[in-house]
Structures are given as structure tokens and as C-alpha cells.
Amino acid sequence: MDARPLRIGNASGFYGDRFSAFREMLEGGPLDVLTGDYLAELTMLILGRDRMKNPAGGYAKTFLRQLEETLGIAVEKKVRIVANAGGLNPAGLANDLRALVAKLGLSVRVAHVEGDDLVARADELGFGESITANAYLGGWGIAACLDAGADIVVTGRVTDASLVVGPAASHFRWQRHDWDRLAGAMVAGHVLECGAQATGGNFAFFGEIDVRRPGFPLAEIFADGSSIITKHPGTGGAVTVDTVKAQLVYEIGGARYAGPDATARFDTIAIEAAGADRVRISGVRGEPPPPDVKVCLNRLGGFRNEATFVLVGLDIERKAALVRAQLDAALNPRPAEVIYTLARTDHADAPTEEQASATLRVTVKDADPKAVGKPFSSAAVELALASYPGFCLTGLPGDGAPFGVYTPAYVDARKVPHVAVLPDGARTDIAPVDEARRLEAVSAPVLPTPLTPGPTRRVPLGQVALARSGDKGGDANIGVWVRTEEAWRWLAHALTEEALRTLLPETRSLKIHRHVLPNLRALNFVVEGLLGEGVSSSTRFDPQGKALGEWLRARHVDVPEQLL
């Protein structure tokens, strides 16, 4: 076992992230491994449609172009590259990488991991008709490829954290039952997976640091699974306890964070500053993973179209009602779903026309593309001279576009192949772990002693609390945390599920789960169904729930004056 820390960097948090990040990370300082995360639930749908048009496609083409510019630097600096850019076609990407390597005249060993794509077995596994069906694999296939000498490993749908777990397990020769070490690497991987979100990107208190161009993060992983999160010297943004916490609470559920390699106990994470732009994560306890692995299913949900009417000045509600009545009468046949969303963004006595404006967004959905195409678009446009005063559209609606519906499924890990295709072409089957544990909620932690009642002031919650929110299919999560023990003694009792429903009225009819993480002074709320059937299908203004946390922080609450 190599006892030195392993420096793992990240150069992509999504398909479309900063193109130059690979070069920045390779040139910015020492690294052992550079990872790239390209896959999200929506990305799998995009790649699925790409594969339908071209069976040789289905992978993140950006990755190839990035390596064409930077692979020589990686070879020179002996940096190994691990990315899930293979998407639905890791073998195809590996072949194209070998062609690129030959073109560049380099000596590079390429391997890939496959087995996650279950779409051909959708009926057998009870998934129904799907465009994509991909199981979340773990890091042991990556580790096997690296053990065999691979310089580049590309995968399909592995968990985001596995891009870090695999290299760490290989480097330190961890065993399959090293739950605490694996869980520690999972936590570091979770911090790195979204790139600059760990270095100040999308950070609630962004005014405290220079986030005009945040650098990408890296983790120094140690043999015991602990890590230090940092970034290259001289890059923008910052790595602080709070920027790391912001990523820790992003898109999680309860205290047990499950993956195919282990289950990490987020209620055991210890986090502390370890110098300028250095944050230590330690103490993470791990448990065996669940017996089932998650599967990302995407199916064609139908077709959709929309038009947005601009309503200016007086009588906004009456103008919106007129449009609705006119469209309802004109849509014949009526699409299966017609959703009207009025956003009252208008201000009284506004100094600009835009500030006097509200919008009425009309979204239509149907299984038949014709039902949401020209008939709807024509009906909206034909109102131009025959509707409310000041009629205006933000743009002309076009033809209906297909949308996908995301559904999570779960399948016995023993039914999912996990294959490491080594640099020499040999295929190694990765067996599922022989110990598993059903995922259960942790016992409710003891809440801190409430603050002594005293005078309060009604201010935005965001004056004392930070937040970050995101999506998990049709559900949304909102992580909220505070910096001091006194603020935690207030927040833990003040921000209940019912309080959240009051502050965010859109959640009132939905099921909300509150998870308490005292070690992070954090609460995590999971709101079921807020995003409908997933990002591509959602008609919500913020379809991925990314700004829910900022909406919550903007709401006014009674805060003890001693915290202000």
C-alpha cells in the first residue's frame, strides 16, 4: 500500500462545463488523477436520443476534444484520467480514444468499464419501455482498470463519487470491506463531483469571496479515507468550511448516503479548516451498501410546447384570465395537459416597462406531436390583435418537442453485470460485494438546547443561514446550515417541516422529509414530487430546483436579535 496522499482533481461537473478546465487542472499544479463527471439524469436522456440517431454515438463528445488539446500534458506529468464520459457507449468512446492516441503519437493505455446499460433487458427486469436504463455501478471496475496499468479509464453510468473511490481503492489497496475508508472517499467524491460548486460557485454568501472565475477542486486522499479539499494555487474562488458544506448538503437525502461501494454516514463527517483554501474531512463511518443498485430510467413522455405572454401594467389578473379563456376556446382538440403559470413580477408605478410586467406561461403536453404543434402555436399567435391591451409574446412558439420522464428503479446488484475491459482487451467481471445491508433511516438525533427566548427581528432567513438546493428526479432537496452553535440552537427548532411549508407555499400539499445533521449544523429537506416527473418533464419555473434554497433564504422570519 502506498501511504502518500493521492491528489485527485476534477475538471467537469456536467456535460457542458468549462471546456478549458482540463488544461487548467493539468497545468495548475501537481495531480495524480484527473476526473471528469459528465452524466446527470437529464444527460442520459440527451445521450439516449443521440444514440437513437447514431448508434455509434451516445457518449460525451466534449471529452474527446478536451483530451485532444491536453492529453500530451497528462502524459508528460503522468496524470491518469478517469471519466464517466462514456455515457451509453463507453466501448465506443474507448475506441475513439485509441484512435486519438494514435493520431497524437502518444503511448497511452485505454480501458473502460461497462455493464451498466440494461435497456436491452428492460422487459426482463420489469422496467417497461425505456429510452435508457442504466444502473449505477461502483468504483471497483475503475480500480481493476488502474491496477492493470490503464492511463485513461472511461465508464458509463457509475456513481459520481466512484470516480474518486476507484482510484483511491487502487492506490491504497483497500479491500471490499474497508467500509470507513471507502465511505471517506465517497464523501470526498461527493464534494468534487460538481466541480466549482466546491470552490465558491453557486455559493450563498458569494459576496465574501471572488467567484468571478472559481478554480476547480481537488482532494488529497489519505490511506485512512480522510481527505483535504483544496484547489490549485492562484486559481479563483475559495475552499472554506462553508463552500465544502454547501456541496456536502447538495442533492442528498438522509444521514445514510448509499452507493454501490458502501453507505457513508453523513452524520459522522467531521469538517474543519486546515489552512488557506484547505478543508479537512475526517471521521466518516461507513457501512455495507444496500443489496439493490439504483437504475436511471428515461422514457419518452410525449411532446410539449409553450408560449409566454407578457402582461404589462394594470389589470394583470384580468388580462391573464382573458388569455386563458381565449386559448381554452381555440384549442380544439385540446392537448392532454394545458398548464397556465402566472408570475406576478410586476411592480406598481414602475420606472421601467419591464418592471411593470408579469408573465403568463402556457405549457401544453400530449402524446401526439401534432396536438402541441401548429394548432397550439397558431392559436397563441392569432390572439395578437384580438386580446388584451399591450399584447406581447416573448417569442414565437414553434413545433412541439419531445420530453422525457425520469423514473428511478432498483434491481438486485447480483443481476447487474460490472465489467472492467482492461487495456489489453481482457474482460474482468467485478462481483457485487458479498455483504449488504438494507437502507434504514437513522434514529432521530438529539436536538440542541433551544436558545433562551428574547427579542427578535423580522429579516430574511438568509441573513443567518446558508442554503443549497437541487434535484433528484421529481424530488427536490434543500440543504440549510448555519455557522455558529448559537444559530444552530435556533435553526434546529425554528425551521420545521411545517415552517418550510409556510415559507415555501408551493410545497404545502407535498410530502416533506426533514433530516437533521448536527455535526454539520445542517438540516436537509427532501420535497417529494415538487419537480413533477423530472427535469425534462417539469413545467415549473425552476425545473431543477436549483434556486429553491435562495428563495427560502429570501423569506422573512423572526430571528433572535442576538444572532444578528
pLDDT tens by residue, 284-308: 999 999 999 999 999 989 999 999 9
Does residue 469 sit in helix, strand or coil?
Answer: strand
User: How far, in Å, CA of 132 to CA of 113, rounded?
Assistant: 17
Q: Which among 38, 73, 34, 21 has a CA at the least distance from the CA of 199?
A: 21
As a whole number, mean pLDDT of residues 179-197 equals 98
Query: Between the CA of residue 335 and those of 172, 365, 404, what are the distances in Å?
Result: 58, 6, 17
Q: What is the mean pLDDT of the chain?
A: 96
Pairwise CA distance, residues 472 & 513, whole Å: 14
**Rounded Cα gap, residues 249 and 519, in angstroms:** 12
- pLDDT of 3 reads 67
pLDDT at 1 over 80: no
Would you say the C-alpha torsion 427, 428, 429, 430 has a positive or negative sign? negative
The Cα 272–Cα 255 span in angstroms is: 19
How does pLDDT run across 454-487, given as a tens digit for each residue? 999 999 999 999 999 999 889 999 999 999 999 9
pTM value > 0.75: yes
pLDDT grade, residue 41 (50/70/90)?
A: confident
What domains sit in the chain, N to C, each tagged with a CATH number? Answer: 304-405 (3.30.70), 456-563 (no CATH)
Whole-number Å distance between alpha carbons of 444 and 516: 8
Confidence at residue 49, expressed as pLDDT on a 0 to 100 scale: 86
| 355-367 b/e (C-beta count within 10 Å ≥ 16 → b) | ebbbbbbbbbbbe
CA distance from start to end of the chain: 50
Would the pLDDT of 141 be above 80?
A: yes
Task: Name the residue among 148, 71, 158 with its Cα closest to residue 113.
Answer: 158
Q: What is the pLDDT of residue 410?
A: 96
Q: Are 86 and 112 in contact (CB under 8 A)?
A: yes
